[in-house]
């Protein structure tokens, strides 16, 4: 069965600092991986996804993620945090040719300090 692990529930960075949100997955078959962002009082919107084309995936708002099969990881990064990045971030996994369902991590709340 697939699963994702987002260790911790909160991370705090200063404006202009590097953002690193970790996601590790478990899947016995090639996965598809997604990062979603949820701003306060809103639904989730897609940041980026990995579907086995390129291992480094660029998304919206300057975010990117790198698929590393050897580490079973798909960490999300942004070189310089902005106040508007404050939100909750979810990693999710499904697998190629498989279920229509997504399995979500528990989420990570990002705070950006001025």
Partner 1 sequence: DVKVTQSSRYLVKRTGEKVFLECVQDMDHENMFWYRQDPGLGLRLIYFSYDVKMKEKGDIPEGYSVSREKKERFSLILESASTNQTSMYLCASRTSGSLHEQFFGPGTRLTVL
Measured between alpha carbons, how far is 29 from 96 in angstroms, rounded to an integer? 7
List all residues 6 or more positions away from 100 whose beta carbon is below 8 Å from its beta carbon: 94
The reply to whether 45 sits near partner 1 by the rule CB under 8 A is: yes
Per CB under 8 A, which region of 14-22, 43-51, 54-62, 64-72 contacts partner 1? 43-51
> φ, ψ for residue 14 (rounded to 5)?
-90, 150
Site membership for partner 1, residue 44 (CB under 8 A)? yes
Residue partners of 114: CB distance under 8 A and separation at least 6? 14, 15, 83
Among residues 17 and 94, whose Cβ is nearest to partner 1?
A: 94
Stretch that binds partner 1, among 15-23, 57-65, 78-86, 88-96 (CB under 8 A): 88-96
Could you list the residues that contact partner 1 (CB under 8 A)? 9, 32, 34, 36, 41-46, 49, 51, 90, 94-102, 104-107
């Amino acid at each position: 069965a697939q699963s994702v692990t987002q260790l911790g529930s909160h991370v705090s960075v200063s404006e202009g600092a590097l953002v690193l949100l970790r996601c590790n997955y478990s899947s016995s078959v090639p996965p598809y991986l997604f990062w979603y962002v949820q701003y306060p009082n809103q639904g989730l919107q897609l940041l980026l996804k990995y579907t086995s084309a390129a291992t480094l995936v660029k998304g919206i708002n300057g975010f990117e993620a790198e698929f590393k099969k050897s580490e079973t990881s798909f960490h999300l990064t942004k070189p310089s945090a902005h106040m508007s990045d404050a939100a909750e971030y979810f990693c999710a996994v499904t697998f190629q040719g498989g279920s229509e369902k997504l399995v979500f991590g528990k989420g990570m709340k990002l705070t950006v300090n001025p």
